[in-house]
Amino acid sequence: MSPANPTLADVAGLLACPECGSAMESRDRALRCGHGHSFDIAKQGYVSLLTGASTKMTGDTSAMLDARAAFQVGGHFAPIAEAVATAIAADDPVLDGAAVLEVGAGTGYYLAAVLEAVPAIGIALDVAKPAARRCARAHPRAASILADAWRGLPVRDGALHRVLSVFAPRNPGEVARVLSAEGRFVVATPTPRHLAELVGPLGMVTVDPDKGRRLTDAMSGHFDAAERTVVEYPMKLTRTDIGNVVAMGPSAHHATRYLDALPDTLEVTASVQISTYRPYSG
């Protein structure tokens, strides 16, 4: 009998049971470990590896993900996705059959771009159930897992070749644990210039100018910096595009009332730092 979800079956051997840490396998529409812990594969194609008390991490709502997907479909962040895929493929352009995990995958947009560029197997991990549903259909080679990265990644030690985080919280210690010695961690973060033209008129949340230093501090002891580049370019956005930008982030609750005061189109800066890290060498 063929597995209910071939992609989850492909990555099951890389996963660790969130209850006991032992190896997993795909069987009878579920992921199971040798100690009898079982996690059903949802009809939407993802598996929940959330266990214990309710997580404090809420993740994105369906409305936020809808807005993000609409903006991404417009191609406005395509240069960022391309740069992320290039960073993932660097030093190892083949990645044939290797595993790439995206932490905080959201819509799965960036992981899908990576999988279009390299013949790897993808794992999309997010703490929000609406995101897990979307990621299950983001790409034919992407498996979707519902989990809280801050509780620990449900992945075996050294099992992954690449880990990706784009505009998402990350757990450097756990990422270091699941990466192979030759692995790389690619992180994309906004610079203070990102969407700067919208911050004043819409009262949007600004990027902490100290964000780069805090990222370096968080990685210290877990990773060494390998490469760093800034992707920056102008985007010509309509009022609808800007509405989607607002709705997909933490400013959604108060910024929308200012949209009517904006012109029909506005040039807005995209500015993102893409950093590649290798496991700490001591």
Distance of alpha carbon 186 from alpha carbon 228, whole angstroms: 10
Q: How many CB atoms lie within 10 A of CB 207?
A: 18
pLDDT in 10s for each residue of the chain, 282 residues: 334 567 899 999 999 999 999 999 999 899 999 999 999 999 999 999 998 766 666 778 999 999 999 999 999 999 999 999 999 998 776 778 899 999 999 999 999 999 999 999 999 999 999 999 999 999 999 999 999 999 999 999 999 999 999 999 889 999 999 999 999 999 999 999 999 998 888 877 777 777 777 888 888 899 999 999 999 999 999 999 999 998 987 766 666 677 888 889 999 999 999 999 999 987
Query: Distance between CA 87 and CA 124 in Å, rounded?
Result: 18
Q: Can you give the pLDDT at residue 56?
A: 61
Give the HSE-up count for residue 77: Cα atoms under 13 Å, Cβ half-sphere.
23
Q: Could you give the CA distance from residue 148 to residue 126 in angstroms, rounded to a whole number?
A: 7
| pTM of the entire predicted model | 0.93
> Tens of pLDDT along 183-215?
999 999 999 999 999 888 887 777 777 777 788
Task: For residue 18, give the nearest of 57, 54, 53, 49 by alpha carbon.
Answer: 49
- Mind listing the pLDDT tens digit for each residue in 62-102? 999 999 999 999 999 999 999 999 999 987 767 788 999 99
